[in-house]
Structure 1
Amino acid sequence: MIDTLPEKKWRVRNQSPSEAARLARELGLPPLAGQLLCNRGLVDAASARDFLRPRLADLPGPDGFQGMGKAASLVAEAVQAGQVIGVAGDYDADGVTATALLVDFLRQCGGKVVWDLPHRLSEGYGFLPPRAQRLAQAGARLVITVDCGVSDIDGVGAAKELGLTVIVTDHHQLPPGVAAPADAMVNPQQDACALAKHLAGVGVAFYLAAACRAELRARGWFATRPAPNLRQSLDLVAVGTCADVVPLVGHNRILVREGLLVLNQGGRRGLRALADASGARGPLDAKDLAFALAPRINAAGRIDHPAQALELLLCQDEPQAAQRARLLDQLNQQRRAIEQEMLGQALEDVASEPRHQRARLLVLGRAGWHRGVLGIVASRVVEATGKPALLFAIENGTAVGSGRSVEGFHLQRALVGVKHLLQHFGGHAQAAGMTTATANLPELWRQLDQAAQAALPPGEGAASLELETAAHVSQLGPGLVDFLADLAPHGQANPEPLLLVEGATVLSASSVGRGHLRLLLGGAAAPLPAFWLGHGELAADIGGPLSLACQPRVSTYGGRHLELFIHDLRPGV
């Protein structure tokens, strides 16, 4: 019965109905669309139109990046001189897609390229001295880091001692004090760079490729060979950007939207094979990239070696791509099994320790935890508790950790405040990695929890739902279909709308698939399908008017129409 479901608080955001109605009239959209735009800070018609119709032509050129001119010149000189260029990436999906993008681009330019990715467990994050040595031994004279390098003073220094020229491209926050001693640095976080602060590592790599193509064209390099079509690399940019959970607004919105078009029009063989192996069907969207493709790319680095994923992305042979994609899918299944075991242990620790109930931030650690899945388990703990969480794998007196945060608590800045307790750290507002002595964990927890208590208001965590606006079911008509499609792609800073929908009546209810609830709702212009994962047992008893906390989505199955994905429901009036 509905009245036996766990109670969740529903909170509807403050509304601006007059402003929303005005905006909707100016744009010729339903009133509900006007409110959703206002919720995203789009309160005038011009900015709303630009948001709903992003164009690749609206991207600024690469010249606005500090250090870009120097970097492009160094790359062009190396290509023209026939020097071997080494691309040094990271083990996650952002780093792997960035590596694939630059390797593919440089090969298309006629450059000689080698690449290097770190083993997550034996080497860890960053451009460390052994990686510089490997690239030098492979013949590289110029090294380009992607999605790493800004904090790697030792690794860049080792490369310089070996006589290598080094370009650092990164998007992580610059460390306090002296940055890595590169010959050129491209990072939107530099103070003198006012452009594209929220780019992922693969986005920075894309801009470097654009600058290098322009520089080589100016030098006449493409007089006898075709210039690379950079639009074809946007499928990689879209995957890496969605994987890294950066805000999907501004530059990122344009890059991901165009990248999805490229991917759905064909895309590279490796990504299409990976989509097939994941079971993704129909036109792919940002959710498919973040939750189907990216986890399988990440699984290579978490369980085996990221080279498995990179070789798939660079693969030109269709049968081989299918085989490599199946391998990544198998690694992802292993990752899921490990993740479920660790998540159960982590939540058990939270439930058994009273201090965790009082804390605003969680620090958890066990011997035997797999370092490769700490981050994703930390994300699940955040989802379950509503609190920032740092998880540590403990071995031989050292704790290697990964943290995930919530809105309002900048994790990387918080770690700067406790850097005296850390051996190594880096990351973003919402995600970070760190290493410390096991003995430091209690004090680390105390100081970070103090910071979280000061930054975050008391909250109900996972027991509350933040709803964008309230709407009567009759407002969910065909006029919303095109608008919701234009509002995508969704991600951080542009989430899928989560609404309070009232006035719905149940026309039919059934249990489908593996125990999921399917409803057909009345009250709209046409019967409206709705789904609630894992609640099929309610089908026999549910009825009467309902209020729903749900996400309206556009389905292309059997024609374009709306369907609702339920997060919670309760009897209506």
Structure 2
Amino acid sequence: MVPSPPPLTWRVKEPTPEAAAALSRSLGLPPLAAQILCHRDLHDPEQARRFLCPGLEQLPMPEEMLGLPQALEIIIPAIRSGAVIGVAGDYDADGVTATALLVEFLEACGASVVWDLPHRVKDGYGFKPQRARRLAQAGAQVIVTADCGISDHEGVNEATRLGLPVVVTDHHLLPPGPLVPAAAVVNPKQEACGMSVHLAGVGVAFYLAAGIRAALREAGWFKDRPEPNLRHSLDLVALGTCADVVPLVEANRVLVAEGLKVMSQGLRPGLAALAKVAGRKGVLDTMDLGFYLAPRINAAGRLDSPDPALELLLASEEGQALRRAQRLDRLNGDRREVESVIFEQALKCIGDDASLQEAACLVLGGEGWHQGVLGIVAGRLLERTGRPTMLFSVQNGTAVGSGRSREGFHLQRALAANAELLTHYGGHALAAGATMPSADLGRLAQALALEAARHLPPDTGQALDIDAQVSLGQLGPQMLEHIGRLAPFGQANPEPMLCAHGLEVDSCRVVGENHLKMELSQDGVRLPAIAFNCDEPWIENGSRLSAAFIPRISTFRGPHLEMVIKDLRPSA
């Protein structure tokens, strides 16, 4: 039997009534909204006011980016002399949007541009030597990377051997040892860089473009040609930033907020077409970007070449954009099918293996499993079982894998502790990847299971952080308007999570495959609620329950407040 995750642990944040009351008085906010701001460490009224009103004037200046002057010394002469600039991006949505931004911007400045994106299986991640050779063959005389390159000494050395100076723009952590030997390195994670360390790759590309534009303006380059409006590129910045799940704080919050405004104007045919095929209407939000648009951009690079995604973003004509968006939509459907097959095969492996059912960390390998979807499936298995999971595609004696973890088990460190088994590895606390000889998968599985057992107490569910306990009577339209001002929501700024007790089920019915639609009441106040993927047979009309939920405005059949349930339990 496949193990089920233990119940979620509700972790209600400690109220700070004095700080919340002071903030409420200063900003004219309801106490609940002020308390939520305090939980985001926004106690100072001026700091909170800036957070609630993000604007471009809050962005740091490009000069704060370490490495920018050296990059301009390479790129500005290339533009002015007519040299061909090659842009080397990555295959995910952040890398594709960063590439689109630089290609579009450089061409608008009058530069000749060629571009190259990696094939996930044939090239692997990063700026590899063969990519330098491809760009050289395409005529590039200068190379600018986008969302990659900080670890790619071999690729940069190959470009240098070919006589092509390389400007690395990246946002990933710097590896130990010497800095990559590029002509310039633009990465906010360098020590002594004054820029926000949270920028995505597309955010770094945006700042490079801003620096280039300022330098060209000072040189009089735009006297005889129109100056590119970088505000029009903020839709790409918003999409790539949300797709890469970087913290939506500081500069990222401003860039995404402004990018959503640009997106609502429908200026980019490719994104308008992508929203159409994804069934998203009206003003888009970060959920639309992260769960509907980004997966379709990523689908191309997950299953094959990412080129169609970039071609969509660069499309200038509506009909062409729609055809390209429809192709990505089909690829996304294919991706879901491939993902579903691997998910079911993995569940069967777990169900047939008693040792896996007891393991604190799941490590599975499958012959020919598609590398492009392993991370997604690992995330689904983590959600299904509550256990950190690594999945490997096995082929010709080599296993290439991706994993997802939960709070309390740092997956990258666990891999580092077993580096002798691995050919390559990397990642973060909650997501990591590795390449290794397939013969050593069993040893890795044992090691990770032991490590996870030490860090994750048995039968301890994942924590669900809750901002406040409320009554339904507190959730009027005005309150929702104030909570909405906390948007854009995302990593490090999640939608407010609330809880309420003693709710009565006035009605309930199953909708879709396994979703529960309810009407909940408390002290005469009645609100609609939806619980997705809910398997709670004890719930019926008249049941009393406690709910952890996100208050959200639903536009289905007219705008109204709806409780989006995240967890349920019986209430006395």
TM-score (normalised: structure 1): 0.92
Tell me which amino acid in the other structure corresponds to 1:434.
A
Q: Which residue of 1 aligns with 2:243?
A: 243
- Give the Cα–Cα distance (whole angstroms) in 1 for the partners of residues 555 and 226 of structure 2: 38
Number of the residue aligned with 1:431: 431
1:498 aligns with 497
Find the aligned partners of 1:350 and 1:34 in 2 and give their Cα distance. Answer: 46
1:369 equivalent in structure 2: 369
Once structures 1 and 2 are overlaid, which stretch shifts more, 147-156 or 373-382?
A: 373-382
1:63–1:412 CA distance, 2 compared to 1 (3 A): farther
The runs of 5 or more residues in structure 1 that have no matched partner are none
Contact 2:13 2:466 survives alignment (8 Å):
no
Percent of pairs with identical residues = 55
Q: How does 1:290-329 map to 2 (within 5 A)?
A: 290-329=290-329
Tell me, yes or no, if structure 1 residue 66 matches structure 2 residue 56: no
- Shift in Å, 1:461: 5.9
Q: Is the 8 A contact 1:467 1:498 kept in 2?
A: yes
**Which amino acid letter does the alignment assign opposite residue 541 of structure 1?**
E
Matched with 2:216 is 216
Structure 1 pair 377–172 and aligned structure 2 pair: CA distance change class (3 A):
same
Pair 1:335 & 2:335 matched: yes
Q: State the alpha-carbon separation in 2 of the partners of residues 103 and 7 from structure 1.
A: 48
Indicate how the Cα distance of structure 1 residues 320 and 399 shifts in structure 2: closer, same or farther if over 3 A, else same: same
Q: Closer, same or farther in 2 for the Cα pair 1:414/1:568, shift >3 Å?
A: closer
CA change 1:427–1:568 in 2 (3 A) is closer
Q: How does 1:161-200 map to 2 (within 5 A)?
A: 161-200=161-200
How far apart are the structure 2 equivalents of 1:514 and 1:351? 23
Change (3 A) 1:229 1:407: farther
C-alpha distance in structure 2 between counterparts of 1:122 and 1:76, whole Å:
33
Cα distance in 1 for partners of 2:13, 2:200 equals: 32
| Partner secondary structure for residue 565 of structure 1 | strand
Q: 1:411 to 1:223 in 2, by over 3 A?
A: farther
2:401 counterpart residue number: 401
Structure 2 residue matching 1:390: 3-state secondary structure: strand
Determine helix, strand or coil for the equivalent of 1:426: strand
1:118-133 paired onto structure 2 within 5 Å: 118-133=118-133
Q: Tell me, what secondary structure is at the counterpart of 1:289? A: helix
Query: CA offset at residue 444 of structure 1?
Result: 3.2
Where structure 2 has 5 or more consecutive residues not aligned to the other structure, the ranges are none
Question: Are residue 111 (structure 1) and residue 104 (structure 2) matched?
Answer: no
Higher mean alpha-carbon deviation, 53-62 vs 338-347, is at 338-347
SS of residue paired to 1:400: strand
Question: 1-side partners of 2:272 and 2:563: how far apart?
Answer: 28
Equivalent residue letter for 2:231 = R
Distance 1:115 1:25 in 2: 54
Tell me which moved more, 555-564 or 87-96.
555-564
1:422 aligned partner: 422
Cα distance per residue 1:304-354 (max 9 Å; x no partner): 210010000000010111011011000001110111111122233344444
d(CA) in 2 for partners of 1:359, 1:264: 47
Aligned residue for 2:14?
Answer: 15
Q: Given the alignment of the two structures, is residue 442 of structure 1 paired with residue 442 of structure 2, yes or no? A: yes
Larger mean Cα displacement after TM superposition, 153-162 or 493-502: 493-502
TM-superposed CA distance for 1:33, in Å, is 1.7
Task: Tell me by how many angstroms 1:457 deviates.
Answer: 4.2
Give CA-to-partner distance per residue, 1:367-422, whole Å, 9 cap, x none.
12111111111221222233332211011111111122323444444444444432
The residue number in structure 2 matching 1:149 is: 149
Matched, 1:100 2:109: no
SS of the aligned residue for 1:15 comes to: coil
Amino acid corresponding to residue 344 of structure 1 in structure 2: E
Q: Distance in 2 between matches of 1:264 and 1:190?
A: 34
Any idea what SS the aligned residue of 2:185 has? strand
Q: 1:429 to 1:68 in 2, by over 3 A?
A: farther
Contact in 2 for aligned 1:172/1:428 (Cα 8 Å): no
Q: Which residue in 1 is equivalent to 2:477?
A: 478
Quick one: distance in 2 between partners of 1:504 and 1:276? 38
Other-structure match for 1:386:
386
Deviations 1:125-154 (A, max 9, x none): 111111111100111010011111111111
Alignment-derived partner of residue 227 in structure 1: 227
* Aligned-partner Cα distance in 1 for 2:345–2:467: 34
> Does structure 2 retain, via aligned residues, the 8 Å contact 1:107–1:113?
yes
- The Cα of 1:100 is off from its aligned counterpart by 0.5
On the 8 A contact 2:206/2:237 being kept in 1, the answer is yes
Is residue 12–residue 470 contact of structure 1 (8 Å, CA) maintained in 2? no
SS in 1 for 2:402: strand
> 1:286 corresponds to which residue?
286
Partner residue of 2:527? Answer: 528
Give the corresponding residue for 1:275: 275
Q: By how many angstroms is 1:117 displaced?
A: 0.6
Residue 283 of structure 2 aligns to a residue whose secondary structure is coil
- Give the distance between the partners of 2:79 and 2:534, measured in 1 at CA: 59
Q: Which residue of 1 aligns with 2:565?
A: 566
RMSD value, Cα: 2.5
The answer as to whether partners of 1:405 and 1:411 remain within 8 angstroms in 2 is: yes
- Is 1:203 aligned to residue 231 of structure 2? no
Match status 1:158 vs 2:158: yes
Q: For 1:165-184, what per-residue CA distance to the aligned partner results, in whole angstroms no more than 9, with x for missing partners?
A: 10111111111112321100
Shift of 1:192: 2.4
- What letter matches 1:175 in structure 2? P
Deviations 1:176-235 (A, max 9, x none): 112321100011121222421111111111111111111111111111111111111111
Structure 2 residue matching 1:140: 3-state secondary structure: coil
Cα 1:369–1:281 change in 2 (3 A) is same
